[in-house]
């Protein structure tokens, strides 16, 4: 029963390399996926912008940043992954980056080098098949193996980034993963994928059913760790989204006049924006800290990820909700981007565990028991 020790903080700033990476991603995304293009896509069946994903992975190499060079990646770290996540969050870009991050964290702990290299290079995408709201710190449900072994049966609902995945990574025990070829368009052997309309139209959920799907069993996978890394990356996505909402709202309130004044000159609105800005400076600090813990293999990652998720979930949601409110009626229309951010922020606050889930996990980690 004592106060937790204070871990090393590490570097919370952005390096020049990270700034350059950000600039490249932003330039590509602004050109390829401006918000109106993202919005138009939501009315189609092509939920994922596969073209953008190809360019992100092949021109910039975003899928291999955290993978060492000798295993086919770029040899950067989770810090750089987090910077990319900020930019993709800012654009609510419909690409399977988050799912790839989680899968990569998982594969890094296994001997699946060939698969890892192909994911890092963007040739294939892989996804961890657990429900979207599962967070680290609690055992995830496993899919049953049939008979002696290598066939799967069961259903996992609401999986993120599984729409276009080539390879499914399915937890079958606490330390084992089944690698399943997903097959093209909906299903491989014994696999059925059903993608449904989702609250977040830019990141649709897929139900995956296995019925005698052939699998290869891999050991050494640490699902919990992968989910923690995912939480750290997601926090940066939320940060990017929140910053975008604040910037858009500031621009709008400066531009719009009512009662013969700029709306941005009303103190009630200024103070709301100031509070949001303060919350975002904190979101940046916790997201950077979580990313650096993931990058350095810090033993504080479980705490850092939980703090980052709790905090960034609430900040992104506040930014999106206040942003919509302060746009007035225009913010409620389909043809305005505010709802893209709102839906992503609302969903993100549940993805990889709700704030409440992470607080409960923290209670154990920092010895503040119920």
Partner 1 sequence: MTTTEQDGRAPLRSVSDSPPDAAALARRVEEFLAEHDPAGTDAADFLRARFAAGLAWVHYPAGLGGLGAENGLQTAVDAAFARAGAPENRPRLNVIGLGMAAPTILRFGDDAQKQRWLPSLWTGEDIWCQLFSEPGAGSDLAGVGTSAVWDGDAWVLNGQKVWTSMAHHARWGIILARTDPEAVKHRGLSYFVVDMTAPGVEVRGLRQITGEAEFNEVFLTDVRVPDDQRLGEVGQGWAVAQYTLMNERVAIGGGTLPRESGAVGALAARWREHPEARTPGLHDRVLRLWVRTEAARLTAERLGQQQAAGQPGPEGSGVKITYAGLNQECSSLELELRGEDGLRYPDYTERRPEVEDYGSRDAGWRYLRFRANSIEGGTTEILRNVVAERVLGLPAEARADKDVPWKDLPR
Closest to partner 1 by CB, 175 vs 265, is 265
Closest to partner 1 by CB, 71 vs 266, is 266
247-306 binders of partner 1 (CB under 8 A) = 250, 253-254, 261-262, 264-265, 267, 270-271, 273-275, 277-278, 281-286, 288-289
Contact range with partner 1 by CB under 8 A, out of 55-63, 127-135, 219-227, 357-365: 357-365
Q: Are 341 and 241 in contact (CB under 8 A)?
A: yes
The tokens of 144 are what?
Answer: 């049953």
Q: How far is the CB of 211 from partner 1 (least distance, A)?
A: 42
Closest to partner 1 by CB, 35 vs 289, is 289
User: Among candidates 57, 96, 84, which has minimal Cα distance to 73?
Assistant: 57
Q: How far is the CB of 217 from partner 1 (least distance, A)?
A: 38
Q: Are 77 and 12 in contact (CB under 8 A)?
A: no
The angle, 0 to 180 degrees and rounded to 10, between the axes of the packed helices 97-108 and 223-255 is 150
Closest to partner 1 by CB, 141 vs 299, is 299
Q: How far is the CB of 88 from partner 1 (least distance, A)?
A: 22
Contact range with partner 1 by CB under 8 A, out of 6-14, 46-54, 109-117, 213-221: 6-14
363 binds partner 1 (CB under 8 A): yes
Q: How far is the CB of 181 from partner 1 (least distance, A)?
A: 41
Closest to partner 1 by CB, 162 vs 352, is 352
CB count within 10 Å of CB 186 equals: 13
Which residue in the set 65, 310, 318, 343 belongs to the binding site for partner 1 (CB under 8 A)?
310
The 3 state secondary structure assigned to 352-369 is CCCHHHHHHHHHHHCCCC
Contact range with partner 1 by CB under 8 A, out of 97-105, 123-131, 192-200, 362-370: 362-370
The dihedral sign for the CA sequence 269, 272, 274, 276: negative
Closest to partner 1 by CB, 27 vs 278, is 278
The tokens of 319 are what?
Answer: 């930014």
The tokens of 350 are what?
Answer: 């549940």
Q: How far is the CB of 223 from partner 1 (least distance, A)?
A: 24
Q: Are 287 and 13 in contact (CB under 8 A)?
A: no
Q: Are 353 and 231 in contact (CB under 8 A)?
A: yes
What long-range pairs does 298-303 form, CB within 8 A, spacing at least 24? 298/7, 298/8, 298/10, 299/7, 300/7, 301/225, 301/228, 301/229, 301/232, 302/136, 302/137, 302/228, 302/361, 302/365, 303/4, 303/362, 303/365, 303/366
370 binds partner 1 (CB under 8 A): yes
Q: How far is the CB of 304 from partner 1 (least distance, A)?
A: 9
Which residue in the set 4, 139, 149, 186 belongs to the binding site for partner 1 (CB under 8 A)?
4
Using CB under 8 A, count the residues that bind partner 1. Answer: 47
Any idea what DSSP says for residue 60? Answer: I
Q: How far is the CB of 312 from partner 1 (least distance, A)?
A: 9
Contact range with partner 1 by CB under 8 A, out of 5-13, 52-60, 87-95, 211-219: 5-13
Any idea what DSSP says for residue 143? Answer: P
184 binds partner 1 (CB under 8 A): no
Q: In whole angstroms, give the CA distance from residue 286 to residue 145.
A: 39
78 binds partner 1 (CB under 8 A): no
12 binds partner 1 (CB under 8 A): yes
Q: In whole angstroms, give the CA distance from residue 156 to residue 142.
A: 9
Per-residue binding letters, 124-163, with partner 1 (x by CB under 8 A): ----------------------------------------
Q: Is 226 exposed, middle or buried (0-12, 13-18, 19+ CB in 10 A)?
A: buried
The tokens of 232 are what?
Answer: 């750290």
Residues in touch with partner 1 (CB under 8 A) = 1-9, 11-13, 250, 253-254, 261-262, 264-265, 267, 270-271, 273-275, 277-278, 281-286, 288-289, 307, 310-311, 356, 359, 362-363, 366-370
């Amino acid at each position: 029963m004592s106060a937790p020790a204070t871990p090393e903080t590490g570097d919370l700033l952005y390096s020049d390399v990270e700034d350059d990476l950000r600039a490249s991603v932003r330039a590509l995304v602004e050109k390829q996926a401006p918000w109106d293009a993202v919005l138009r896509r939501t009315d189609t069946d092509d939920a994922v912008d596969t073209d953008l994903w190809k360019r992100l992975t092949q021109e910039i190499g975003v899928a291999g940043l955290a993978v060492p060079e000798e295993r086919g990646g770029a040899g950067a770290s989770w810090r750089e992954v987090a910077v990319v996540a900020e930019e993709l969050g800012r654009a609510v870009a419909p690409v399977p980056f988050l799912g790839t991050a989680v899968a990569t964290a998982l594969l890094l702990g296994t001997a699946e080098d060939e698969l890892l290299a192909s994911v890092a290079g963007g040739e294939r995408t892989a996804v961890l098949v657990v429900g979207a709201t599962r967070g680290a710190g609690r055992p995830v449900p496993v899919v049953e193996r049939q008979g002696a072994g290598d066939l799967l049966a069961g259903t996992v609902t609401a999986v993120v980034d599984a729409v276009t995945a080539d390879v499914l990574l399915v937890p079958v025990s606490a330390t084992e993963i089944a690698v399943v070829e997903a097959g093209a368009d909906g299903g491989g052997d014994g696999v059925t994928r059903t993608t449904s309309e989702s609250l977040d139209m830019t990141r649709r959920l897929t139900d995956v059913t296995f019925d005698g799907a052939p699998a290869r069993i891999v050991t050494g996978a640490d699902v919990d760790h992968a989910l923690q890394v995912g939480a750290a990356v997601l926090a940066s996505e939320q940060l990017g989204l929140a910053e975008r909402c604040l910037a858009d709202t500031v621009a709008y309130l400066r531009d719009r006049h009512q009662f013969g004044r700029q709306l941005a000159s009303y103190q009630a609105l200024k103070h709301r924006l100031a509070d949001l800005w303060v919350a975002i400076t904190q979101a940046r600090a916790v997201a950077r800290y979580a990313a650096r813990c993931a990058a350095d293999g810090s033993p504080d990652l479980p705490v850092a990820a939980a703090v980052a998720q709790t905090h960034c979930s609430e900040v992104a949601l506040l930014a999106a909700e206040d942003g919509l409110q302060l746009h007035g009626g225009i913010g409620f229309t389909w043809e305005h981007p505010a709802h893209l951010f709102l839906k992503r922020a609302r969903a993100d606050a549940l993805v990889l565990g709700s704030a409440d889930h992470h607080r409960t996990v923290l209670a154990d980690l920092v010895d503040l028991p119920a």
